[in-house]
Amino acid sequence: MRLSLVVSAVVAALVGFGSTIAVIIAAAHAVGANDAQTTSWVAALCLSMAVTSGFLSVRYRMPVVTAWSTPGAALIAASSGVSLSAAVGAFLLAGLLIVLAAAVKPFGRLIERIPTSIAAAMLAGILIRFVMAVFESAQATPVLVLPLIGIFLLVRLFNPAMAVLAVLVAGFGIAFGGGFAKALPSDLTISSLTFISPAFDPATLIGLGVPLFLVTMASQNLPGFAVLRASGYAPPSRPILATTGFVSVVSAFFGAHTSNLAAISAAICTGPDTHPDPAKRWMVGPFYALCYLIFAVFSAPLIALIGALPPELIKTVAGLALAASFAGALGSALADEAKRFPAALTLAVTASGVSMFGIGSAFWGLAAGLLVLGLDVLNSRTRFQRA
């Protein structure tokens, strides 16, 4: 037992929660969630992190820490015309698809065969709107936003994982000290869960549920497994997916979207700084779970505190939190020259926000990229046969 186990767990939990909570709140607002439903959403997510991280770390004796799907939250926040009940139906579908990917090998392999460049381009198309919103906010409120961008760029030089957390802390100081924030409500209470009946709208299931599953698998679960493997562990992929998928299904009834393996938070918990003995790093999991239990209990006052902040600050924190993910997705999308054009088309269609037949742009971007890629492959084979 070492103090570094506790420190790593606390830092990972603070970075994961503090750097992306603004994206979750934006997602809740996009689907019309009220204050109680937003609190339930966040509390259910935190409980999911606590249950899955604690159970999987103890069960498999490795530092398996989980997180909510930040790209998935960005996808939800970018949606329009979707009710909360229909969104919950899409969350249920995404969770069931994760369980199906764990249970049915051919289905999991089919998802893995989606080219990385196309999946990354769809993710980049979703995230680019949030990154651009940072600079739109800077134009609207330069006194508030420009110092935060400077702090982000400076802290990032020394500790990229803490850069967004530093922006959040500084943002609180500037907002409340400079008179940008609203007064806090006086009737703050601890969190509670609110049951939300799902509605199964075909357009929302296809336009939100399927892309939510894909971005969760491609941008969260697969990198999460890679972090564990890079640290010398052999994580059992199917049981982990089954556990996170099942918990996602249960938590969806309380407004929460998908749970998945952590990547950045996992990197904080899986290295030698956590414990020099890899066989003992699993002990970080229970402490990480305890941190999220605390967040679950006090998510209501935490959300109220963030809700008092000006919208420009929320957009800035969310955009800066997603900037690294956007850069990584863009790099992966354009890395393969043979797939560059289909990937660029996927990004453009997704970023356009186009909606047809009630289905959002993420699905159409993925469909467009796969269609063009298929035509390119077919054309190449035809030329080869003629030659």
User: What tokens appear for 26 in the block?
Assistant: 């934006």
- pTM of structure: 0.74
How many CA within 13 A on the CB side of residue 307? 17
CA–CA separation, 315 vs 138, rounded Å?
A: 10
CA–CA separation, 188 vs 199, rounded Å?
A: 31
* Residue 271 DSSP SS3: coil
Say if CB 108 and CB 251 are below 8 A apart.
Answer: no
222 inside domain:
yes
Look at residue 75 in the predicted model and tell me its pLDDT.
Answer: 87
349 inside domain:
no
Look at residue 1 in the predicted model and tell me its pLDDT.
Answer: 66
343 inside domain:
no
Look at residue 156 in the predicted model and tell me its pLDDT.
Answer: 86
143 inside domain:
yes
Query: From first to last of its 387 residues, what are the pLDDT tens digits of the chain?
Result: 677 788 778 777 877 787 688 889 889 999 999 988 999 999 999 999 999 999 999 999 999 999 998 888 988 988 888 999 999 999 999 999 999 988 887 766 666 677 878 877 877 887 788 789 889 988 988 988 899 999 999 988 987 767 877 887 888 888 888 777 777 666 667 888 999 999 999 999 998 999 899 888 877 787 778 677 767 788 888 899 999 999 999 999 999 999 998 876 777 787 777 788 888 989 999 999 999 999 999 888 877 777 777 878 878 877 887 787 788 778 888 888 888 899 999 899 988 877 676 566 777 888 888 899 888 878 877 776 776
257 inside domain:
yes
165 inside domain:
yes
Domain residue limits at 71 = 3-335
249 inside domain:
yes
Look at residue 128 in the predicted model and tell me its pLDDT.
Answer: 86
CA dihedral over 10, 16, 19, 24, signed as positive or negative: negative
Look at residue 264 in the predicted model and tell me its pLDDT.
Answer: 65
Task: Provide the domain count of the chain.
Answer: 1
352 inside domain:
no
Say if CB 124 and CB 322 are below 8 A apart.
Answer: no
Look at residue 49 in the predicted model and tell me its pLDDT.
Answer: 94
